[in-house]
Structure 1
Amino acid sequence: MKPVAVWVLAGSVAAVVFAGEQIPAHDLSADEIVQKNVDARGGLDAWRKVQTMIWSGHVDSANAPAPDLPFVLAMKRPNKTRFEVTVYNQKSVRVFDGRQGWKLGPNGMGSATPRPYSMDEATSARDEQVIDGLLIDHEAKGVTVTLEGKDQVGGRDAYRLAAKLPSGVIRHVWIDAQTFLDVQVDRQVRTPRGQTVVVDVNYSDFRSVEGLQIPLEIESGAPASDKKDKLTIDKVSLNPALDDGIFTRPAPPQMHRKSVSIDVDASPALPGAGHPSP
Protein backbone atom coordinates (compact mmCIF):
# COMPACT_ATOMS: atom_id res chain seq x y z
CA MET A 1 0.00 0.00 0.00
CA LYS A 2 1.34 3.44 -0.88
CA PRO A 3 2.35 5.63 2.10
CA VAL A 4 -0.05 8.45 1.19
CA ALA A 5 -2.98 6.02 1.03
CA VAL A 6 -2.17 4.65 4.49
CA TRP A 7 -2.29 7.95 6.29
CA VAL A 8 -5.22 9.22 4.31
CA LEU A 9 -7.07 6.20 5.72
CA ALA A 10 -5.82 6.42 9.39
CA GLY A 11 -7.07 8.94 10.38
CA SER A 12 -8.23 11.76 8.02
CA VAL A 13 -9.11 14.31 4.74
CA ALA A 14 -10.76 16.76 1.90
CA ALA A 15 -13.64 18.01 -0.16
CA VAL A 16 -14.73 20.53 -2.75
CA VAL A 17 -15.18 23.78 -0.83
CA PHE A 18 -16.57 26.02 -3.52
CA ALA A 19 -20.12 26.85 -4.53
CA GLY A 20 -21.50 26.51 -0.98
CA GLU A 21 -24.40 28.72 -0.01
CA GLN A 22 -23.86 31.42 2.59
CA ILE A 23 -25.26 30.91 6.08
CA PRO A 24 -28.15 33.30 6.82
CA ALA A 25 -27.72 35.68 9.74
CA HIS A 26 -30.28 33.89 11.93
CA ASP A 27 -28.56 30.49 11.64
CA LEU A 28 -26.15 28.91 14.10
CA SER A 29 -22.72 30.42 14.80
CA ALA A 30 -19.47 28.48 14.50
CA ASP A 31 -19.23 28.17 18.29
CA GLU A 32 -22.77 26.82 18.52
CA ILE A 33 -22.13 24.25 15.78
CA VAL A 34 -18.93 23.11 17.45
CA GLN A 35 -20.70 22.77 20.81
CA LYS A 36 -23.49 20.71 19.23
CA ASN A 37 -20.86 18.54 17.53
CA VAL A 38 -19.03 17.95 20.82
CA ASP A 39 -22.29 17.06 22.55
CA ALA A 40 -23.35 14.74 19.71
CA ARG A 41 -20.03 12.89 19.88
CA GLY A 42 -20.30 12.22 23.60
CA GLY A 43 -19.25 15.41 25.38
CA LEU A 44 -15.99 17.19 26.14
CA ASP A 45 -15.40 15.61 29.55
CA ALA A 46 -15.85 12.08 28.19
CA TRP A 47 -13.38 12.65 25.34
CA ARG A 48 -10.80 14.23 27.66
CA LYS A 49 -10.78 10.98 29.64
CA VAL A 50 -9.65 9.03 26.56
CA GLN A 51 -5.86 8.93 26.64
CA THR A 52 -5.33 5.92 24.36
CA MET A 53 -7.37 4.16 21.70
CA ILE A 54 -6.98 1.16 19.41
CA TRP A 55 -8.89 0.44 16.23
CA SER A 56 -8.71 -2.90 14.46
CA GLY A 57 -10.39 -3.80 11.21
CA HIS A 58 -9.65 -4.12 7.52
CA VAL A 59 -8.65 -1.92 4.60
CA ASP A 60 -9.77 -2.00 0.97
CA SER A 61 -7.66 0.13 -1.34
CA ALA A 62 -7.04 0.46 -5.05
CA ASN A 63 -3.35 0.66 -4.12
CA ALA A 64 -3.37 -2.54 -2.06
CA PRO A 65 -2.14 -5.88 -3.44
CA ALA A 66 -5.17 -7.70 -2.00
CA PRO A 67 -8.64 -6.91 -0.58
CA ASP A 68 -9.62 -6.89 3.09
CA LEU A 69 -6.15 -6.31 4.52
CA PRO A 70 -6.26 -6.48 8.35
CA PHE A 71 -4.99 -3.42 10.21
CA VAL A 72 -4.44 -2.17 13.75
CA LEU A 73 -4.16 1.54 14.58
CA ALA A 74 -2.93 2.49 18.07
CA MET A 75 -3.21 6.11 19.23
CA LYS A 76 -1.92 7.84 22.35
CA ARG A 77 -2.15 11.47 23.41
CA PRO A 78 -0.94 13.95 22.58
CA ASN A 79 -0.13 12.77 19.06
CA LYS A 80 1.44 9.32 18.91
CA THR A 81 0.34 6.72 16.39
CA ARG A 82 1.26 3.23 15.24
CA PHE A 83 -0.42 1.77 12.14
CA GLU A 84 0.10 -1.87 11.19
CA VAL A 85 -1.36 -3.52 8.11
CA THR A 86 -0.77 -7.16 7.24
CA VAL A 87 0.11 -7.91 3.62
CA TYR A 88 0.56 -11.58 2.67
CA ASN A 89 1.35 -12.52 6.30
CA GLN A 90 3.92 -9.74 6.64
CA LYS A 91 3.40 -6.49 8.50
CA SER A 92 3.84 -3.00 7.12
CA VAL A 93 4.32 -0.55 9.99
CA ARG A 94 4.18 3.25 10.29
CA VAL A 95 4.87 4.92 13.63
CA PHE A 96 4.97 8.53 14.81
CA ASP A 97 6.24 9.54 18.25
CA GLY A 98 4.85 13.09 18.16
CA ARG A 99 7.98 14.55 16.55
CA GLN A 100 9.42 11.98 14.17
CA GLY A 101 8.01 9.16 12.11
CA TRP A 102 9.28 5.93 10.54
CA LYS A 103 7.90 3.41 8.08
CA LEU A 104 8.76 -0.22 7.65
CA GLY A 105 7.44 -2.46 4.90
CA PRO A 106 8.12 -6.08 3.94
CA ASN A 107 10.54 -6.42 1.03
CA GLY A 108 9.70 -10.01 0.15
CA MET A 109 12.95 -11.28 1.68
CA GLY A 110 11.77 -11.41 5.29
CA SER A 111 13.61 -8.27 6.35
CA ALA A 112 13.52 -4.55 5.81
CA THR A 113 15.12 -1.34 7.08
CA PRO A 114 13.00 1.37 8.77
CA ARG A 115 12.93 4.61 6.80
CA PRO A 116 12.23 8.05 8.26
CA TYR A 117 9.16 10.01 7.26
CA SER A 118 9.58 12.53 4.50
CA MET A 119 9.32 16.20 5.47
CA ASP A 120 5.74 16.33 4.14
CA GLU A 121 4.75 13.17 6.00
CA ALA A 122 6.18 14.46 9.28
CA THR A 123 4.47 17.85 8.88
CA SER A 124 1.15 16.19 8.14
CA ALA A 125 1.48 13.84 11.13
CA ARG A 126 2.24 16.73 13.48
CA ASP A 127 -0.95 18.45 12.35
CA GLU A 128 -3.17 15.46 13.12
CA GLN A 129 -5.41 15.31 16.18
CA VAL A 130 -5.39 11.56 16.30
CA ILE A 131 -7.88 10.65 19.03
CA ASP A 132 -10.66 13.21 18.90
CA GLY A 133 -10.22 15.30 15.75
CA LEU A 134 -9.97 19.02 15.11
CA LEU A 135 -13.10 20.36 16.83
CA ILE A 136 -13.17 18.76 20.27
CA ASP A 137 -11.23 20.96 22.73
CA HIS A 138 -10.06 22.98 19.71
CA GLU A 139 -9.14 26.10 21.69
CA ALA A 140 -6.77 24.12 23.91
CA LYS A 141 -5.19 22.68 20.75
CA GLY A 142 -4.69 26.15 19.27
CA VAL A 143 -7.18 25.49 16.46
CA THR A 144 -9.32 28.44 15.32
CA VAL A 145 -12.73 27.58 13.84
CA THR A 146 -14.89 29.79 11.62
CA LEU A 147 -18.12 29.15 9.73
CA GLU A 148 -17.93 29.45 5.94
CA GLY A 149 -21.22 28.16 4.58
CA LYS A 150 -23.54 25.26 4.05
CA ASP A 151 -23.19 22.48 1.47
CA GLN A 152 -24.83 19.23 0.46
CA VAL A 153 -22.80 16.18 1.51
CA GLY A 154 -24.26 12.81 0.62
CA GLY A 155 -27.62 14.41 -0.07
CA ARG A 156 -27.82 16.07 3.36
CA ASP A 157 -27.27 19.64 4.54
CA ALA A 158 -23.92 20.13 6.24
CA TYR A 159 -22.22 23.15 7.80
CA ARG A 160 -18.77 23.88 6.37
CA LEU A 161 -16.28 24.97 9.02
CA ALA A 162 -12.74 26.18 8.41
CA ALA A 163 -10.25 24.99 11.03
CA LYS A 164 -6.94 26.86 11.14
CA LEU A 165 -4.22 24.74 12.77
CA PRO A 166 -1.27 26.12 14.78
CA SER A 167 0.93 25.37 11.77
CA GLY A 168 -1.15 27.78 9.69
CA VAL A 169 -2.73 25.01 7.61
CA ILE A 170 -6.47 25.40 7.02
CA ARG A 171 -8.67 22.32 6.82
CA HIS A 172 -12.40 22.13 6.35
CA VAL A 173 -14.83 20.06 8.37
CA TRP A 174 -18.42 19.36 7.33
CA ILE A 175 -20.95 18.84 10.15
CA ASP A 176 -24.33 17.23 9.44
CA ALA A 177 -27.02 19.87 10.04
CA GLN A 178 -29.33 17.34 11.73
CA THR A 179 -27.11 14.95 13.69
CA PHE A 180 -24.20 17.40 14.17
CA LEU A 181 -21.74 14.55 13.60
CA ASP A 182 -18.67 14.96 11.38
CA VAL A 183 -19.40 13.72 7.87
CA GLN A 184 -16.41 14.98 5.89
CA VAL A 185 -13.02 16.63 6.31
CA ASP A 186 -10.48 17.88 3.81
CA ARG A 187 -6.81 18.47 3.39
CA GLN A 188 -4.11 18.64 0.75
CA VAL A 189 -1.63 15.80 0.42
CA ARG A 190 1.48 15.43 -1.68
CA THR A 191 1.81 12.38 -3.90
CA PRO A 192 5.08 10.43 -4.24
CA ARG A 193 5.58 12.33 -7.51
CA GLY A 194 5.47 15.66 -5.70
CA GLN A 195 1.99 16.68 -6.84
CA THR A 196 -0.39 18.34 -4.38
CA VAL A 197 -3.91 16.93 -4.46
CA VAL A 198 -7.09 17.44 -2.47
CA VAL A 199 -8.51 14.34 -0.83
CA ASP A 200 -11.99 13.76 0.59
CA VAL A 201 -12.47 11.74 3.75
CA ASN A 202 -16.06 10.75 4.52
CA TYR A 203 -17.23 9.35 7.86
CA SER A 204 -20.23 7.07 8.26
CA ASP A 205 -21.74 4.24 10.31
CA PHE A 206 -21.39 6.03 13.63
CA ARG A 207 -21.74 3.72 16.64
CA SER A 208 -21.76 4.31 20.37
CA VAL A 209 -18.62 3.05 22.12
CA GLU A 210 -18.91 3.62 25.87
CA GLY A 211 -21.03 6.70 25.15
CA LEU A 212 -18.75 8.14 22.45
CA GLN A 213 -19.87 8.32 18.83
CA ILE A 214 -17.20 6.83 16.56
CA PRO A 215 -17.44 6.33 12.77
CA LEU A 216 -16.76 2.72 11.81
CA GLU A 217 -16.39 3.42 8.08
CA ILE A 218 -13.94 5.97 6.66
CA GLU A 219 -13.74 6.38 2.90
CA SER A 220 -11.17 8.59 1.21
CA GLY A 221 -10.05 9.62 -2.25
CA ALA A 222 -9.77 12.48 -4.71
CA PRO A 223 -13.19 14.07 -5.39
CA ALA A 224 -13.05 13.37 -9.12
CA SER A 225 -11.80 9.80 -8.77
CA ASP A 226 -13.94 6.67 -8.77
CA LYS A 227 -11.24 4.82 -6.85
CA LYS A 228 -11.76 5.20 -3.12
CA ASP A 229 -9.90 3.74 -0.18
CA LYS A 230 -12.08 2.35 2.58
CA LEU A 231 -11.18 1.63 6.17
CA THR A 232 -13.68 -0.45 8.17
CA ILE A 233 -13.31 -0.59 11.95
CA ASP A 234 -14.41 -3.87 13.53
CA LYS A 235 -13.22 -3.31 17.10
CA VAL A 236 -12.57 -0.23 19.25
CA SER A 237 -10.73 -0.22 22.59
CA LEU A 238 -10.70 2.85 24.82
CA ASN A 239 -7.82 3.53 27.21
CA PRO A 240 -5.88 0.29 26.72
CA ALA A 241 -2.40 0.20 28.24
CA LEU A 242 0.05 1.30 25.52
CA ASP A 243 3.77 1.44 26.23
CA ASP A 244 5.59 4.37 24.64
CA GLY A 245 8.03 1.87 23.17
CA ILE A 246 5.59 0.84 20.45
CA PHE A 247 5.75 4.38 19.07
CA THR A 248 9.52 4.40 18.65
CA ARG A 249 11.51 3.49 15.55
CA PRO A 250 10.22 0.06 14.41
CA ALA A 251 12.58 -2.89 14.46
CA PRO A 252 13.20 -5.02 11.35
CA PRO A 253 11.12 -8.23 11.23
CA GLN A 254 14.06 -10.40 12.27
CA MET A 255 14.16 -8.52 15.58
CA HIS A 256 10.68 -9.84 16.40
CA ARG A 257 9.42 -6.70 18.07
CA LYS A 258 5.95 -7.34 19.43
CA SER A 259 3.08 -6.00 17.36
CA VAL A 260 0.19 -4.03 18.78
CA SER A 261 -2.42 -6.40 20.14
CA ILE A 262 -6.01 -5.89 21.21
CA ASP A 263 -8.08 -8.07 23.49
CA VAL A 264 -11.14 -8.52 21.28
CA ASP A 265 -13.11 -10.11 24.11
CA ALA A 266 -12.59 -7.00 26.23
CA SER A 267 -13.62 -4.64 23.43
CA PRO A 268 -17.08 -3.10 23.79
CA ALA A 269 -19.89 -4.27 21.56
CA LEU A 270 -20.77 -1.96 18.71
CA PRO A 271 -24.57 -1.65 18.64
CA GLY A 272 -26.79 0.25 16.20
CA ALA A 273 -25.53 3.18 14.17
CA GLY A 274 -25.83 6.69 15.54
CA HIS A 275 -26.04 8.34 12.10
CA PRO A 276 -29.52 8.05 10.50
CA SER A 277 -29.85 7.16 6.86
CA PRO A 278 -30.63 10.06 4.50
Structure 2
Amino acid sequence: MKRNFTHMIAGLLLFSSAIAFGQSTEEILAKHQTAMGSPEKWAALKSAVVKNKFSVQGMDIESKTSMSIGKAFRTEVEVMGNKIITVVDENSGWMIRPAMMGGTGEPEDMPGEQVKLAGTQKNLGSALVQAQKAGATIELVSKEKLDGADAYLFKVSKAGGEESQVYVSASTYYVIKTIAKVQANGQTVDTEVNYSNYKAVDGLYFPFTVEAASPMGGMMQVDTTSVELNVPVDPSLFKKPSK
Protein backbone atom coordinates (compact mmCIF):
# COMPACT_ATOMS: atom_id res chain seq x y z
CA MET A 1 0.00 0.00 0.00
CA LYS A 2 2.78 2.39 0.96
CA ARG A 3 4.65 1.58 -2.27
CA ASN A 4 1.54 2.19 -4.38
CA PHE A 5 1.01 5.54 -2.66
CA THR A 6 4.64 6.53 -3.34
CA HIS A 7 4.29 5.59 -7.00
CA MET A 8 1.05 7.58 -7.23
CA ILE A 9 2.74 10.69 -5.78
CA ALA A 10 5.68 10.31 -8.18
CA GLY A 11 3.28 9.96 -11.09
CA LEU A 12 1.35 13.05 -10.05
CA LEU A 13 4.59 15.05 -9.82
CA LEU A 14 5.61 13.99 -13.32
CA PHE A 15 2.14 14.79 -14.62
CA SER A 16 2.08 18.23 -13.00
CA SER A 17 5.57 18.92 -14.35
CA ALA A 18 4.42 18.07 -17.87
CA ILE A 19 1.45 20.42 -17.51
CA ALA A 20 3.70 23.22 -16.21
CA PHE A 21 6.12 23.00 -19.13
CA GLY A 22 3.53 22.09 -21.77
CA GLN A 23 6.29 20.71 -24.00
CA SER A 24 9.10 18.20 -23.60
CA THR A 25 12.79 19.04 -23.75
CA GLU A 26 13.02 17.39 -27.17
CA GLU A 27 10.09 19.39 -28.56
CA ILE A 28 11.50 22.72 -27.39
CA LEU A 29 14.98 21.93 -28.69
CA ALA A 30 13.52 20.91 -32.05
CA LYS A 31 11.58 24.19 -32.28
CA HIS A 32 14.71 26.10 -31.29
CA GLN A 33 16.71 24.47 -34.06
CA THR A 34 13.95 25.18 -36.60
CA ALA A 35 13.89 28.84 -35.51
CA MET A 36 17.65 29.12 -36.12
CA GLY A 37 17.39 27.89 -39.71
CA SER A 38 18.01 24.71 -41.69
CA PRO A 39 20.37 22.27 -39.91
CA GLU A 40 21.69 21.30 -43.35
CA LYS A 41 22.64 24.93 -44.05
CA TRP A 42 24.38 25.22 -40.69
CA ALA A 43 26.28 22.00 -41.36
CA ALA A 44 27.39 23.35 -44.75
CA LEU A 45 29.09 26.42 -43.25
CA LYS A 46 32.84 26.37 -43.84
CA SER A 47 33.87 29.98 -43.20
CA ALA A 48 32.56 33.36 -42.10
CA VAL A 49 33.58 36.98 -41.63
CA VAL A 50 31.73 38.89 -38.91
CA LYS A 51 32.08 42.62 -38.20
CA ASN A 52 30.97 44.23 -34.92
CA LYS A 53 31.00 47.60 -33.25
CA PHE A 54 30.80 48.62 -29.60
CA SER A 55 31.73 51.43 -27.21
CA VAL A 56 34.07 51.34 -24.20
CA GLN A 57 34.55 54.44 -22.04
CA GLY A 58 33.21 56.66 -24.79
CA MET A 59 35.43 55.13 -27.48
CA ASP A 60 33.76 53.64 -30.56
CA ILE A 61 35.50 50.39 -31.44
CA GLU A 62 35.13 48.10 -34.44
CA SER A 63 36.18 44.48 -34.74
CA LYS A 64 36.48 41.93 -37.52
CA THR A 65 36.48 38.16 -36.97
CA SER A 66 37.55 35.78 -39.73
CA MET A 67 36.61 32.16 -39.13
CA SER A 68 37.35 28.72 -40.45
CA ILE A 69 34.27 27.17 -38.85
CA GLY A 70 35.13 24.71 -36.08
CA LYS A 71 38.87 25.08 -36.71
CA ALA A 72 40.19 28.57 -36.12
CA PHE A 73 39.31 32.25 -35.79
CA ARG A 74 41.14 35.57 -35.95
CA THR A 75 39.75 38.74 -34.36
CA GLU A 76 41.19 42.17 -35.07
CA VAL A 77 40.20 45.10 -32.86
CA GLU A 78 41.41 48.64 -33.53
CA VAL A 79 41.59 51.03 -30.56
CA MET A 80 42.94 54.57 -30.88
CA GLY A 81 45.01 53.62 -33.91
CA ASN A 82 46.36 50.48 -32.24
CA LYS A 83 45.41 46.99 -33.41
CA ILE A 84 44.87 44.01 -31.11
CA ILE A 85 44.97 40.62 -32.85
CA THR A 86 43.73 37.39 -31.26
CA VAL A 87 44.00 34.02 -33.00
CA VAL A 88 42.91 30.59 -31.77
CA ASP A 89 43.24 27.42 -33.84
CA GLU A 90 42.54 23.78 -33.01
CA ASN A 91 45.26 23.40 -30.37
CA SER A 92 46.76 26.77 -29.47
CA GLY A 93 46.43 30.52 -29.64
CA TRP A 94 48.48 33.68 -30.00
CA MET A 95 47.94 37.42 -29.80
CA ILE A 96 49.52 40.76 -30.58
CA ARG A 97 48.92 43.58 -28.10
CA PRO A 98 50.37 47.09 -28.25
CA ALA A 99 52.35 48.40 -25.28
CA MET A 100 49.46 50.62 -24.20
CA MET A 101 47.36 47.45 -23.83
CA GLY A 102 49.90 45.62 -21.69
CA GLY A 103 51.65 43.88 -24.58
CA THR A 104 54.91 44.20 -26.48
CA GLY A 105 53.62 44.68 -30.01
CA GLU A 106 55.11 41.27 -30.87
CA PRO A 107 53.31 37.91 -31.31
CA GLU A 108 52.92 36.12 -27.97
CA ASP A 109 51.44 32.75 -27.03
CA MET A 110 48.11 32.72 -25.21
CA PRO A 111 47.87 30.82 -21.91
CA GLY A 112 46.17 27.43 -22.24
CA GLU A 113 43.31 28.51 -19.98
CA GLN A 114 42.61 31.49 -22.23
CA VAL A 115 42.76 29.32 -25.37
CA LYS A 116 40.22 26.93 -23.87
CA LEU A 117 37.94 29.80 -22.87
CA ALA A 118 38.05 31.31 -26.36
CA GLY A 119 37.65 27.97 -28.12
CA THR A 120 33.87 28.24 -28.41
CA GLN A 121 34.34 31.26 -30.70
CA LYS A 122 35.49 28.92 -33.46
CA ASN A 123 31.84 27.95 -33.99
CA LEU A 124 28.85 29.92 -35.21
CA GLY A 125 25.27 29.51 -34.14
CA SER A 126 23.34 28.50 -31.06
CA ALA A 127 25.22 27.50 -27.91
CA LEU A 128 22.40 25.06 -27.21
CA VAL A 129 22.73 23.33 -30.58
CA GLN A 130 26.52 23.21 -30.18
CA ALA A 131 26.09 21.62 -26.75
CA GLN A 132 23.77 18.99 -28.24
CA LYS A 133 26.35 18.12 -30.89
CA ALA A 134 29.05 17.83 -28.24
CA GLY A 135 26.96 15.30 -26.30
CA ALA A 136 26.23 17.54 -23.32
CA THR A 137 23.34 16.71 -20.99
CA ILE A 138 20.51 19.21 -21.49
CA GLU A 139 17.78 19.36 -18.84
CA LEU A 140 14.62 21.47 -18.88
CA VAL A 141 14.49 23.10 -15.45
CA SER A 142 11.52 25.46 -15.52
CA LYS A 143 9.35 27.87 -17.43
CA GLU A 144 9.57 31.35 -15.97
CA LYS A 145 9.36 35.05 -16.66
CA LEU A 146 12.45 36.80 -18.03
CA ASP A 147 12.11 40.55 -18.51
CA GLY A 148 8.33 40.10 -18.43
CA ALA A 149 8.18 37.38 -21.10
CA ASP A 150 7.91 33.59 -20.82
CA ALA A 151 11.16 31.67 -21.23
CA TYR A 152 12.32 28.09 -20.83
CA LEU A 153 15.35 27.57 -18.58
CA PHE A 154 17.73 24.75 -19.49
CA LYS A 155 20.66 23.38 -17.51
CA VAL A 156 23.54 22.30 -19.76
CA SER A 157 26.18 19.96 -18.32
CA LYS A 158 29.26 19.21 -20.42
CA ALA A 159 31.49 16.15 -20.13
CA GLY A 160 34.32 18.21 -18.62
CA GLY A 161 32.12 19.25 -15.70
CA GLU A 162 31.26 22.75 -16.95
CA GLU A 163 27.67 23.80 -16.35
CA SER A 164 25.63 26.66 -17.75
CA GLN A 165 22.08 27.94 -17.83
CA VAL A 166 20.42 28.76 -21.13
CA TYR A 167 17.15 30.68 -21.50
CA VAL A 168 15.04 30.11 -24.62
CA SER A 169 12.16 32.42 -25.53
CA ALA A 170 8.80 30.64 -25.33
CA SER A 171 7.51 32.71 -28.26
CA THR A 172 10.43 32.87 -30.73
CA TYR A 173 12.46 29.86 -29.51
CA TYR A 174 15.68 31.88 -29.81
CA VAL A 175 18.32 31.74 -27.08
CA ILE A 176 17.96 35.02 -25.19
CA LYS A 177 20.34 34.58 -22.27
CA THR A 178 23.17 32.36 -21.03
CA ILE A 179 24.78 32.20 -17.59
CA ALA A 180 27.97 30.21 -17.03
CA LYS A 181 30.92 29.84 -14.70
CA VAL A 182 34.32 30.15 -16.37
CA GLN A 183 37.91 29.95 -15.15
CA ALA A 184 39.81 33.19 -15.64
CA ASN A 185 43.17 34.04 -14.08
CA GLY A 186 42.83 31.17 -11.63
CA GLN A 187 39.42 32.30 -10.43
CA THR A 188 35.87 31.14 -11.12
CA VAL A 189 33.88 33.97 -12.69
CA ASP A 190 30.15 34.15 -13.43
CA THR A 191 29.45 35.30 -16.98
CA GLU A 192 26.09 36.49 -18.26
CA VAL A 193 25.32 37.16 -21.92
CA ASN A 194 22.06 38.50 -23.39
CA TYR A 195 21.07 37.97 -27.04
CA SER A 196 18.51 39.91 -29.08
CA ASN A 197 17.74 41.51 -32.47
CA TYR A 198 17.87 38.24 -34.41
CA LYS A 199 18.20 38.63 -38.18
CA ALA A 200 18.40 36.22 -41.10
CA VAL A 201 21.57 35.84 -43.18
CA ASP A 202 21.18 33.42 -46.09
CA GLY A 203 18.29 31.78 -44.24
CA LEU A 204 20.20 31.35 -40.96
CA TYR A 205 19.43 33.45 -37.89
CA PHE A 206 21.95 35.37 -35.79
CA PRO A 207 21.61 37.71 -32.77
CA PHE A 208 22.77 41.09 -34.05
CA THR A 209 22.82 42.55 -30.52
CA VAL A 210 24.75 40.93 -27.67
CA GLU A 211 25.19 42.29 -24.16
CA ALA A 212 28.00 41.00 -21.95
CA ALA A 213 30.07 42.13 -18.99
CA SER A 214 32.50 44.90 -19.87
CA PRO A 215 36.14 44.70 -18.71
CA MET A 216 35.58 48.21 -17.38
CA GLY A 217 32.56 47.17 -15.31
CA GLY A 218 28.85 47.08 -16.10
CA MET A 219 27.37 45.66 -19.30
CA MET A 220 28.68 46.27 -22.80
CA GLN A 221 26.51 46.13 -25.93
CA VAL A 222 28.04 44.69 -29.08
CA ASP A 223 26.19 45.27 -32.36
CA THR A 224 26.89 43.17 -35.43
CA THR A 225 27.16 45.23 -38.60
CA SER A 226 27.65 42.41 -41.11
CA VAL A 227 27.84 38.63 -41.41
CA GLU A 228 29.32 37.01 -44.54
CA LEU A 229 29.03 33.25 -44.87
CA ASN A 230 31.16 30.82 -46.87
CA VAL A 231 33.48 33.54 -48.12
CA PRO A 232 37.19 32.97 -48.87
CA VAL A 233 39.33 33.12 -45.71
CA ASP A 234 43.11 32.89 -46.21
CA PRO A 235 44.55 30.11 -43.95
CA SER A 236 47.71 32.22 -43.46
CA LEU A 237 45.67 34.58 -41.26
CA PHE A 238 45.82 31.99 -38.46
CA LYS A 239 49.58 31.36 -38.61
CA LYS A 240 51.67 32.98 -35.90
CA PRO A 241 54.17 35.36 -37.52
CA SER A 242 57.81 35.35 -36.53
CA LYS A 243 58.99 38.24 -34.41
Superposition TM-score, scaled by structure 2 size: 0.82
Paired residues in the alignment total 224
- Residue by residue, what CA displacement relative to the aligned partner does 1:155-174 show, whole Å, maximum 9, x if unpaired? 21111112223433122211
- Residue by residue, what CA displacement relative to the aligned partner does 1:185-214 show, whole Å, maximum 9, x if unpaired? 12223454x432211100111111111111
Residue of structure 2 equivalent to 1:47: 42
1:226 positional shift: 6.9
Q: Is this contact kept in 1: 2:73–2:121, CA < 8 A? A: no
Counterpart mapping for 1:172-183 below 5 A: 172-183=165-176
Distance between the aligned counterparts of 1:128 and 1:170, measured in 2? 17
Out of 137, 147, 150, the position equivalent to 1:157 is 150
Q: Measured at CA, do residues 46 and 205 of structure 1 come closer, stay the same or move farther in structure 2, by a change above 3 Å?
A: same
Out of 33, 41, 45, the position equivalent to 1:38 is 33
The residue type equivalent to 2:170 in the other structure is A
Q: Is this contact kept in 2: 1:50–1:238, CA < 8 A? A: yes
The residue type equivalent to 1:149 in the other structure is S
Q: Give 1 or 2: higher strand fraction.
A: 2
Q: Is this contact kept in 1: 2:167–2:176, CA < 8 A? A: yes
Counterpart mapping for 1:14-25 below 5 A: 24-25=17-18
Residue of structure 1 equivalent to 2:8: none
Q: State the secondary structure of the residue aligned to 2:99.
A: coil
Residue of structure 1 equivalent to 2:98: 106
1:108 positional shift: 5.2
1:135 positional shift: 2.5
Counterpart mapping for 1:137-148 below 5 A: 138-148=131-141
* Residue 233 of structure 1 pairs with residue 228 of structure 2: no
Q: Is this contact kept in 2: 1:56–1:234, CA < 8 A? A: yes
* Residue 202 of structure 1 pairs with residue 194 of structure 2: yes
Identify which of structures 1 and 2 has the higher relative contact order when contacts are C-alpha pairs closer than 8 Å and 6+ apart.
1
Distance between the aligned counterparts of 1:246 and 1:129, measured in 2? 14
Distance between the aligned counterparts of 1:190 and 1:140, measured in 2? 23
Q: Which of the pair has more CA radius of gyration?
A: 2
Gaps of 5+ in 2: 1-15
Q: Measured at CA, do residues 205 and 30 of structure 1 come closer, stay the same or move farther in structure 2, by a change above 3 Å?
A: same
Distance between the aligned counterparts of 1:220 and 1:126, measured in 2? 17
Kindly report the root-mean-square deviation, in angstroms, between the aligned alpha carbons of the 2 structures.
2.6
Identity, in percent, stands at: 25
1:233 positional shift: 0.5
The residue type equivalent to 2:219 in the other structure is K
Residue of structure 2 equivalent to 1:244: 235
Distance between the aligned counterparts of 2:146 and 2:108, measured in 1? 38
Distance between the aligned counterparts of 1:79 and 1:34, measured in 2? 25
The residue type equivalent to 1:52 in the other structure is S
Q: Is this contact kept in 2: 1:76–1:131, CA < 8 A? A: no
